[in-house]
């Protein structure tokens, strides 16, 4: 009798754990994908649909984010508090790419599902509309065609439009000869975020960061603050105490237990309070999101920099300036010198590209990677700040020894 009860209880706990894990999978998928399309991932689509009300309520209550559901997709309408450079499209190289991407969506909004049209038809209508708004576009200019094609390829990769026949690259080479036949998908109207008010009612860019309309009351201000804090934790790799406003920092400090519990329950994140701030870690080595350290060699180099700084500080050798919260202040020359020391120690394990790169190139790569992951930033033109959270990792090369 006792054994049977224990087995039933164990099975119940296992089922509960499976349901909890599936819920977390849904949360991560919604946060890290533009949307979940039924035709591309029907299993995840129906998992979200089964838990739609629970997910919808949690995202709205904690972060003010809307969960959208249609017969073809489910989408979390993500609104960052701070628009970081890495949040853009990696494929885009010029601001004009975003302009044509937006006007491509404008063109598609006037089309119905499965409607077909040509590239020439699309670009001519976009040109006419832009010129009516006193914007300059000239398809005989090679760079304009390149930007338009990058925008079209992004729309295609998102599943907003489908290529039926042809190739955009031929149009880049010859604006008169090249043409492509497209088909419209039902996803076009869901790419851009929805605003709670008419755009003409906003007075400044900062107002656009509110995902919903907040009443001008103490309760409205409190709700906006909670949503702001959760959105930063959900959408940014790390947020240190020094990066919060005093108001938001007070909320993070006083509501630490609730934040850790909510992030653990819904995302499985492990939260810990350190001197520099409240930090969350993914418990596994892989996940829906890209995790730090990445598989790229530059992450290894960044970790070696962190280890070398730590060793020099412990040995009393480094002349680095250290702030009260553990932030390391380095000049560019100091960082380049440090990288040359690291290369001398570990060059046998490096790729040819890194071994032959100049100290300036190595420093550029390291600084860019640190900024992308919110692990450092320029304080001014001379000093670069390396945040103490980087010191939570330690890396070294493992040498295999074979014994006969």
pLDDT for res 382: 86
Mean pLDDT (whole number) for 335-340: 93
Mean pLDDT (whole number) for 55-63: 98
pTM for the model:
0.88
Structure confidence at residue 3 as a pLDDT band (50, 70, 90): low
pLDDT for res 219: 96
Chain segment 136-154, per-residue pLDDT in tens = 899 999 999 999 999 999 9
Rg (CA), the chain: 25
Instruction: Choose among 214, 125, 126, 124: nearest CA to 176.
Output: 124
Q: In this predicted structure, which of 52-56, 109-113, 214-218, 279-283 has the lowest mean pLDDT? A: 109-113
How many C-beta atoms surround the C-beta of residue 394 within 10 A?
10
Structure confidence at residue 400 as a pLDDT band (50, 70, 90): very low
Instruction: Choose among 68, 75, 66, 67: nearest CA to 37.
Output: 75
Q: What is the mean pLDDT of the chain?
A: 89
Q: Give the range with max mean pLDDT: 4-13, 205-214, 283-292, 368-377.
A: 368-377
Structure confidence at residue 12 as a pLDDT band (50, 70, 90): low
Alpha-carbon dihedral sign for residues 83, 64, 205, 195: positive
Chain segment 245-290, per-residue pLDDT in tens = 999 999 999 999 999 999 999 999 999 999 999 999 998 877 788 8
Contact present, 336 and 343 (Cβ < 8 Å): no
Mean pLDDT (whole number) for 17-28: 93
Cα(337)–Cα(345) distance, rounded to whole angstroms? 13
Q: In this predicted structure, which of 15-19, 66-70, 242-246, 278-282 has the lowest mean pLDDT? A: 15-19
pLDDT of 403 strictly over 50: no
Residue 101 tokens read as 């991407």
With both helix axes pointing from N to C terminus, report the angle between 42-50 and 2-32 in degrees, rounded to the nearest 10: 110
pLDDT for res 189: 86
pLDDT of 345 strictly over 80: yes
Q: In this predicted structure, which of 29-33, 49-53, 380-384 has the lowest mean pLDDT? A: 380-384
Write the burial class of residue 327 (CB in 10 Å: 0-12 exposed, 13-18 middle, 19+ buried): buried
pLDDT of 349 strictly over 90: no
pLDDT greater at residue 127 or residue 7: 127
For β-strands 161-166 and 270-274, DSSP reports them as unpaired
Structure confidence at residue 398 as a pLDDT band (50, 70, 90): low
Mean pLDDT (whole number) for 343-356: 88
DSSP characters over 276-329: TEEEEE-SSS--SS--SSPSSHHHHHHHHHHHHHHHHHHTT----EE-TTS-EE
pLDDT for res 399: 47
Instruction: Choose among 74, 24, 71, 10: nearest CA to 289.
Output: 24
pLDDT of 106 strictly over 90: yes
pLDDT greater at residue 399 or residue 272: 272
Chain segment 317-329, per-residue pLDDT in tens = 667 888 888 899 9
pLDDT for res 92: 95
């Amino acid at each position: 009798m006792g054994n049977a009860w224990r087995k039933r209880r164990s099975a119940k706990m296992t089922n509960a754990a499976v349901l909890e894990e599936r819920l977390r999978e849904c949360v991560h998928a919604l946060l890290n994908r533009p949307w979940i399309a039924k035709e591309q991932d029907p299993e995840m689509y129906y998992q979200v649909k089964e838990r739609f009300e629970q997910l919808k309520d949690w995202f709205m209550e904690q972060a003010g984010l809307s969960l959208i559901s249609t017969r073809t997709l489910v989408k979390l309408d993500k609104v960052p508090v701070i628009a970081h450079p890495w949040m853009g499209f990696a494929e885009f190289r010029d601001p004009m790419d975003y302009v044509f991407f937006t006007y491509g969506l404008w063109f598609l909004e006037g089309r119905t599902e499965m409607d077909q049209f040509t590239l020439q038809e699309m670009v001519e209508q976009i040109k006419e509309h832009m010129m009516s708004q006193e914007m300059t576009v000239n398809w005989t200019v090679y760079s304009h065609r390149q930007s338009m094609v990058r925008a079209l390829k992004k729309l295609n990769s998102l599943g907003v439009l489908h290529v039926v026949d042809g190739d955009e690259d031929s149009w880049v080479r010859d604006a008169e000869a090249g043409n492509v036949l497209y088909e419209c998908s039902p996803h076009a109207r869901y790419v851009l975020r929805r605003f709670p008010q008419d755009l003409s009612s906003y007075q400044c860019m900062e107002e656009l960061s509110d995902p919903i309309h907040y009443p001008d009351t103490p309760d409205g201000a409190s709700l906006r603050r909670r949503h702001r804090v959760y959105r930063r934790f959900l959408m940014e790799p790390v947020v240190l105490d020094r990066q919060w406003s005093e108001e938001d920092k007070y909320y993070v400090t006083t509501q630490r237990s609730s934040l850790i519990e909510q992030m653990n329950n819904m995302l499985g994140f492990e939260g810990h309070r350190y001197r520099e701030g409240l930090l969350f870690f993914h418990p596994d080595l892989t996940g829906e999101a890209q995790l730090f350290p990445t598989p790229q060699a530059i992450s290894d180099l960044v970790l070696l920099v962190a280890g070398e700084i730590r060793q020099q500080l412990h040995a009393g050798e480094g002349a680095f300036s250290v702030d009260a919260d553990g932030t390391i202040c380095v000049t560019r020359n100091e960082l380049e010198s440090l990288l040359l020391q690291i290369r001398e120690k570990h060059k046998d394990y490096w790729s040819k590209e890194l071994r032959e790169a100049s100290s300036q190139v190595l420093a550029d790569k390291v600084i860019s990677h640190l900024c992308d992951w919110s692990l450092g930033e320029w304080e001014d033109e001379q000093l670069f700040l390396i945040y103490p959270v980087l010191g939570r990792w330690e890396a070294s090369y493992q040498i295999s020894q074979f014994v006969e």
